Structure 1
Amino acid sequence: MNSASPTPVIAVTMGDGAGVGPEVTVGALLDETTATRCRPVVIGDAGRLRKAADVLGVEVEVVAVDSVDDAVFTPGRINVIDLGLLPAELPWGAVSPVAGDAAYHYIRVASELATSGAAQAICTAPLNKEALHAAGHIFPGHTELLAQLTGTDEVSMMLATPAMKVIHVTTHIGLIDAVAAIEPGLVERTVRRGDRTLRDSGVESPRIGVCGINPHAGENGLFGHGEEAEKIVPALEKLRADGIDAQGPLPADTAFYLATRGEYDLIVAMYHDQGHGPVKVLGIETGVNITVGLPVIRTSVDHGTAFDIAGTGKASADSMVEALRQAANLCA
């Protein structure tokens, strides 16, 4: 490895081997811009990456290495810490407990590399929650899994696109449970994590728009049962007293539009679909998932395993390229 290189080492997890993860990983690592930004080392399966390269019709040298220090970064070469957990005959596009278990261990090893300092960031290809659960790893997704692996009590999910950034107060729980879970302390901590992340990335005075829960943010009590006044307003008062520019509660049906116009640097969504829907309308291939609050940097594609097209070569690597770019930027 060229130790003089200023670019960060990024541990790239291959995701669920039955999905598009191997294909988007190969595609992103062969993108000419990736090598200028970072030194990626895949945690995954060398044989599966070679099959993905065949599917994509590209020539690549997939080299198994024992550690980050053994990686050599040259054009057309992919370094992989090969855990050897996938059978050669694993079918594309089907839920597999074996693939789910392997995906868990890719994340575990990447987390160990990042927390030890061997890697400066983690970038993840998609896993399949059903496969993960079938393997006995009961987590809603990467966010919660990485929180446990790093001993972090509370994290937030941020979605970043060229047009706007969105952070979520609640994520992978049902809507009724989400409304019950929202309370001033959680809202306040979420906004603070978002504000800190933007400041760390170079935004001097982030402008943050905070969505309401009900239509029209409750319309002064006309809709809902006073959730905005009870659950959100007290948090905003404390944040503004501390000099954080947090505006709201805002009607969610206009807040995202205002963000795309440049009026807000960050939108705070109260629940999963409130934030995910607008981001994915903008283009799922450009969205990046950033876990905020971890002791390590972690970015991810903002799409799933796409079993319907896995193994066909149709999957776009654009989101993975962008996720690697954002990880490298956050390292800087």
Structure 2
Amino acid sequence: MSGAAPAPRSSARVALTCGDPAGLGPELIAAVLHGENSRALGDLVVIGPESWLRELPAGVEKIAVGAADFVATAGAPDEAGARVALAAMERAAAGCVEGRWAGVVTGPVSKAQLAKVGYTFPGQTEFFAARWGGEPVMGFVGERLRVVLATWHVPLSEVPNKLSPQSLERAVAAAASLAVGARGKLQTPPSGAGSLARVGLAPMAEGPASHVAGATHTLARIAVCGLNPHAGEGGLLGAEERDLLNPTLARLGARFPGLVPECLPGDTVFARALRGEFDAVVALYHDQGLAPLKAVDFDTAVNVTLGLPFVRTSPDHGTAFGLAGKGREGRTGGASPRSTANALALARDLIRERNRT
């Protein structure tokens, strides 16, 4: 299915995958769906084990995967559940290629459990890129921060070798897309849970190079973190900024006039973004970007995969096996369903924006 053509433009449906059936994801998805009105349920299809699907509202389409008698035990992951999670991902990816739906909201999975059943991808981002084609870029939309990663599921020791002018350009272009609305009007970061769905992501051009060959000019204010302490201190604390990163940013300035022309120290750039100086921040590795994001947007942030021919979002949390099955009123497993609700709302918005172009 690699290199697939996009779904028909009339398609506006969204598929939701269960994630690991023993994790917190199924509980959070169920909580969100039970809060949807019947009309809103009509554009959804939910993929997961039959025993869980029976707990969902009647108005939503359901596709069962896995053995008919499979029943997950909350908080106790096993290989059978990992196979269900993988089957749901495969069905969701295929449905986009077949034109049955236009995007996917993925529940959280356990990479360790998936590895036991032959899964070889570092994460779901890479899985969907392999099934659909494209050059993925991992982005995050929170209520206070927008963050894009230049690298993600790689060991810290490998990050310097993964950075290149091409990877940095893709990340900057994706950051511009996160920061600029559909008609090129700059959007300010929203405040309040209800406004996240109106974040105003720019429409993504179709095809494998969607965030490289997209709009050539934006006014988005984008900052890029340095790799080394103090952004290299002019080469005294590392040469990557001087030799690779800053020259690339200077070259990209013609395409992105709002881009800061050199890397900024990672220990202060997010504080400046929170004060409103920047519309999006490019982090060079996973924890550099996600630690500050989760510090301020832990319950609400959404993971969005950019650069693919179909929409894919997910809540920005993991399986939380230790919380699964331990819900209490107002919370689910001790966690908020807001990130899941925001992931669904953002997927719907992205699909609407694509269908308008």
TM-score range, shorter chain: 0.7 to 0.9
Task: Kindly indicate whether the alpha-carbon contact (under 8 Å) linking 1:114 and 1:120 is maintained by their aligned counterparts in 2.
Answer: yes
Is 1:231 aligned to residue 212 of structure 2?
no
Question: 1:73 matched to which residue of 2?
Answer: none
1:45 to 31, 44, 49: 49
Shift of residue 35 of structure 1?
5.5
Structure 1 SS opposite 2:234:
coil
Alignment of 1:247-326 (within 5 A): 247=260, 248-313=262-327, 314=333, 315-326=335-346
Shift of residue 32 of structure 1?
3.7
Q: C-alpha deviations, 1:294-328, integer Å up to 9, x for none? A: 11111101000000011222242111001011111
Task: Kindly indicate whether the alpha-carbon contact (under 8 Å) linking 1:158 and 1:167 is maintained by their aligned counterparts in 2.
Answer: yes
Structure 2 Cα separation of the partners of residues 259 and 285 of structure 1: 19
TM-score (norm 2): 0.79
Amino acid at match of 1:15: G
Question: 1:166 matched to which residue of 2?
Answer: 147
Amino acid at match of 1:319: S
Question: 2:107 matched to which residue of 1?
Answer: 125
Task: Kindly indicate whether the alpha-carbon contact (under 8 Å) linking 1:38 and 1:328 is maintained by their aligned counterparts in 2.
Answer: no
Question: 2:16 matched to which residue of 1?
Answer: 12
Is 1:24 aligned to residue 37 of structure 2?
no
Change (3 A) 1:89 1:160: same
Structure 1 Cα separation of the partners of residues 267 and 151 of structure 2: 18
Larger helix share, 1 or 2: 1
Amino acid at match of 1:234: P
Shift of residue 236 of structure 1?
0.7
Question: 2:97 matched to which residue of 1?
Answer: 115
Change (3 A) 1:135 1:254: same
Structure 2 Cα separation of the partners of residues 33 and 162 of structure 1: 24
Gaps of 5+ in 1: 1-5, 54-59, 63-76
Structure 1 Cα separation of the partners of residues 233 and 41 of structure 2: 47
Question: 2:127 matched to which residue of 1?
Answer: 145
Structure 1 Cα separation of the partners of residues 272 and 140 of structure 2: 16
Larger strand share, 1 or 2: 1
Higher mean C-alpha deviation, range 211-220 or range 93-102: 93-102
Change (3 A) 1:91 1:263: same
Structure 1 SS opposite 2:263:
strand
Cα RMSD of the aligned pairs, angstroms, is 2.2
Is 1:213 aligned to residue 233 of structure 2?
no
TM-score (norm 1): 0.85
Question: 1:331 matched to which residue of 2?
Answer: 351
Change (3 A) 1:238 1:39: same
Structure 1 SS opposite 2:223:
strand
Count residues in correspondence: 303
Q: C-alpha deviations, 1:69-97, integer Å up to 9, x for none? A: xxxxxxxx332111234743432212312
Task: Kindly indicate whether the alpha-carbon contact (under 8 Å) linking 1:122 and 1:297 is maintained by their aligned counterparts in 2.
Answer: yes
1:83 to 61, 65, 88: 65
Question: 1:57 matched to which residue of 2?
Answer: none
Structure 2 Cα separation of the partners of residues 113 and 244 of structure 1: 39
Q: C-alpha deviations, 1:264-309, integer Å up to 9, x for none? A: 1110000000001001101321010000111111110100000001
Higher mean C-alpha deviation, range 168-177 or range 103-112: 103-112
Task: Kindly indicate whether the alpha-carbon contact (under 8 Å) linking 1:289 and 1:302 is maintained by their aligned counterparts in 2.
Answer: yes
Task: Kindly indicate whether the alpha-carbon contact (under 8 Å) linking 1:167 and 1:194 is maintained by their aligned counterparts in 2.
Answer: yes
Shift of residue 36 of structure 1?
4.7
Amino acid at match of 2:263: P
Q: Percent identity?
A: 37
Task: Kindly indicate whether the alpha-carbon contact (under 8 Å) linking 1:42 and 1:78 is maintained by their aligned counterparts in 2.
Answer: yes
Structure 2 SS opposite 1:252:
coil
Shift of residue 187 of structure 1?
0.8
Question: 2:162 matched to which residue of 1?
Answer: 181
1:246 to 239, 259, 267: 259
Structure 2 Cα separation of the partners of residues 177 and 234 of structure 1: 21
Shift of residue 21 of structure 1?
1.5
Amino acid at match of 1:322: N
